[in-house]
Structure 1
Amino acid sequence: MIRSLRATDLPDLLALLHWMDDSPEREVFAPDSRDVRELQLECEDSVCLVDEGEDGVQAYCALSPFRDGLVLEGPVGEGGNLRALLAQASRHTDGLPVYAFCARDNQPVRDALEAADFTPMHSTAFYAAPLDQVRAAAVPPDCGVVHALPIAEYRALFRAAEDAWAGRLDWTPEQYDAHFADDDVRLIALQRGARPVAFAELEFNAEQARADVTYLAVHPAERGQGLGRALLALAAAEARTRPEIKTLRVRAHDHMRPARALYARSGFTHCRSIVTYLRDGEEEA
């Protein structure tokens, strides 16, 4: 039976999330919380649905605000009818576009998404390397290293780099300042004179002993000069200042072949791929 999530379902939902965590190929976009109380708080602002069987909750999905529409959490389930669950969720979209994310190898979920009219947009590959295996690279002698940029210069370089995730271009100055004031966030930028030409954003995840290069931007006119390699080396050096961090991870969309080649040359190996899906709304996305 498909119905709305109840507070009494949270232990079953938590068990489903741990089941997903046990195998990388089961990965979907899902709640971060792995505690019943925190999970309840995280679900409060979402439309959450479950498929209940004789032994409790078998599958779960939810809809939350995201970008210009909604994002689908899940579906995640050891059993249940994923297609019926998605069909029920589609009644709560209010004509908005819906994004979904799942592991490339999660074929049951991919089949259910495509049967529910979700279209694959692109895939994102993740690469990782132990910090001591990230290859050294020198900063070009005519470049300086800074750890802060004015918001206007950051936006201009971000826009020029044509990154697919441009939502932060709409950040207010207060949001921008708050992001980079976070102790787990670092900005590493290269400048020629007073002009920024490249930057990397680094986020620390102590729980997973990992640092993520969440964005790496090199101005198109400055590519091919070793700036990307220098930024990766600087990011690894920054990560080594935290003893709990052991691994550096980067990402690249499927059309970003030069970035993938850069990561291979810099000592990274592929660890996972995520497919981004979109279900168009009744209105233009």
Structure 2
Amino acid sequence: MLATDVPDVLALLNWMDDAPEREVFSPEARSEGELKVECEDCTCLVDADEEGVLAYCALSPFRDGLVMEGPISDGGQVGPLLRHALERADGLPVYAFAARDNLPVREALEAAGFAPMHTTDFYSAPLSRLTPHACAPAGHRIVHHLPLATYRELFRASEDTWAERLNWTPEQVDEHFARPDVRLVALLRGEQPVGFAELEFNAEDARADVTYVAVHPAERGQGYGLTLLALAAAEADTRPELRTLRVRAHDHMKPARALYARAGLTHCRSVVTYMKEGDEDV
């Protein structure tokens, strides 16, 4: 990709934004300057003709391998673009994400050797639907900070899909929760934490995302999940620019899906995670 391609890539990103079924993992930048900076650490490829860029994809470090941005195409050649990108993967596994309804991209990924891992479903509700139930049960209290050892112990017991968080240094944990768009809501019975919810605020979309909601296995079945969702909504409601709470669950997480249904959240979006395994001999 050339520097002169940036305006066309930005136009492709905006084209993707216009329809939910076109969604793929993509750069966050939506200005030329920010996009140039974001692309500096990526391997960026385009399919272009004399009229400009028709398709875009990129590779950047992710987990144990690489993540693919795109492919995004408005008439370009996605198959050859994917092949060129994978030639630059250096034998590492490559992850990709596409909206469930983005059938052209999903078919292209599978033709290039990507296999679906799971589907993540998103659910949302207006804050006003949840906040009336935001109160701590008798004998419980709400805190917005946990000692690092306590947080890790509760996280380890409650979560099985985001284990990389346990490898964060104390400095990384402090830096994360010091962000103005991140908030922790934990529920304690006496001095014993029973569960927590983590929030990220997205003012641009007037939305708060619950990135994690977890109840200690020994405390489940007592309504703490519903309470934590309501407390998370109440925390988001302290920010007048936010209107909606959104949560997510992988397709195998049946208890979480049942919880969201009981809380009155409705399905709003589905994303399929793909992976192309690396070449162990490289």
Shorter-chain TM band? over 0.9
- Deviation of residue 152 (structure 1)? 1.9
Match of 2:36 in 1: 40
Change (3 A) 1:135 1:177: closer
Q: CA deviation at 1:133?
A: 1.6
Task: Give the conservation status (yes or no) of the 8 Å contact 1:14–1:36.
Answer: yes
Counterpart position of 1:56: 52
**Distance across 2 between alignment mates of 1:94 and 1:155:** 34
Does 131-140 or 69-78 show the bigger shift? 131-140
Where does 1:193-212 land on structure 2 (aligned, <5 Å)? 193-212=190-209
Is 1:157 aligned to 2:154, yes or no? yes
* Match status 1:253 vs 2:244: no
| Matching of residues 80-229 of structure 1 within 5 Å | 80-134=76-130, 136-137=132-133, 138-229=135-226
**In the aligned structure 1, how far is the partner of 2:145 from the partner of 2:236?**
17
**1:135, 1:266 within 8 Å by CA — same for their partners in 2?**
no
Q: What are the superposed Cα offsets for residues 42-94 of structure 1, whole Å, 9 maximum, x if unpaired?
A: 00000000011232100000000011111010001111111111111011111
What is the Cα deviation at residue 135 of structure 1?
6.1
Question: Structure 1: where are the runs of 5+ without partners?
Answer: none
User: Match for 2:155: what amino acid?
Assistant: F
The equivalent of 2:68 in structure 1 is: 72
How far apart, in 2, do the equivalents of 1:274 and 1:165 lie?
A: 17
The alignment's C-alpha RMSD in Å is: 1.3
Partner of residue 271 from structure 1, selected from 265, 268, 271: 268
Checking the alignment, whether the CA contact within 8 Å between 2:131 and 2:234 is kept in structure 1 is no
User: Per the alignment, in what secondary structure is the counterpart of residue 196 of structure 2?
Assistant: strand
- Matched to 1:259, the amino acid is A
**1:139 touches 1:227 (CA, 8 Å); kept in 2?**
no
- What is the DSSP-based 3-state SS (H/G/I as helix, E as strand, rest coil) of the residue aligned with 2:90? coil
| Unaligned ranges ≥5, structure 2 | none
What pairs up with 1:19-38 in 2 under 5 angstroms?
19-38=15-34
Q: Find the partner of 2:239 among 232, 238, 242.
A: 242
- Cα distance in 2, alignment partners of residues 9 and 184 from structure 1: 32
Deviation per residue, 1:155-181 (Å, 9 max, x gap): 222222234222221111001001101
Q: Structure 1 residue 122: deviation in Å?
A: 0.6
Shift of 1:10: 0.5
Distance 1:102 1:209 in 2: 23
Counterpart secondary structure, 2:9: helix
- What is the CA-CA distance between 1:237 and the residue it aligns to? 0.7
Number of equivalent positions = 280
Asked if the contact 1:135/1:267 (under 8 Å) is kept, the reply is no
Runs of 4+ in 1 over 4 A off after TM superposition: none
CA offset digits 1:80-115 (Å, max 9, x no partner): 111111111011111111111110110001001111
Percent identity over the alignment is: 68
1:134 alignment partner, SS class: helix
The secondary structure found in structure 2 opposite 1:125 is strand
TM-fit CA distance, 1:240:
1.0
Q: CA deviation at 1:222?
A: 1.2
Q: Which amino acid in structure 1 is aligned with residue 17 of structure 2? A: D
Secondary structure (helix, strand or coil) at the match of 2:36 reads helix
Q: Give the Cα–Cα distance (whole angstroms) in 2 for the partners of residues 165 and 113 of structure 1.
A: 25
Give the CA deviation at 1:265: 1.4
Contact residue 134 and residue 268 of structure 1 kept, 8 A: no
2:125 is matched by which residue type in structure 1? A
Report which stretch shifted further, 260-269 or 228-237.
260-269
Distance 1:74 1:148 in 2: 37
The answer for the alignment partner of 1:280 in structure 2 is 277
Question: Separation in 1 of the partners of 2:261 and 2:50?
Answer: 49
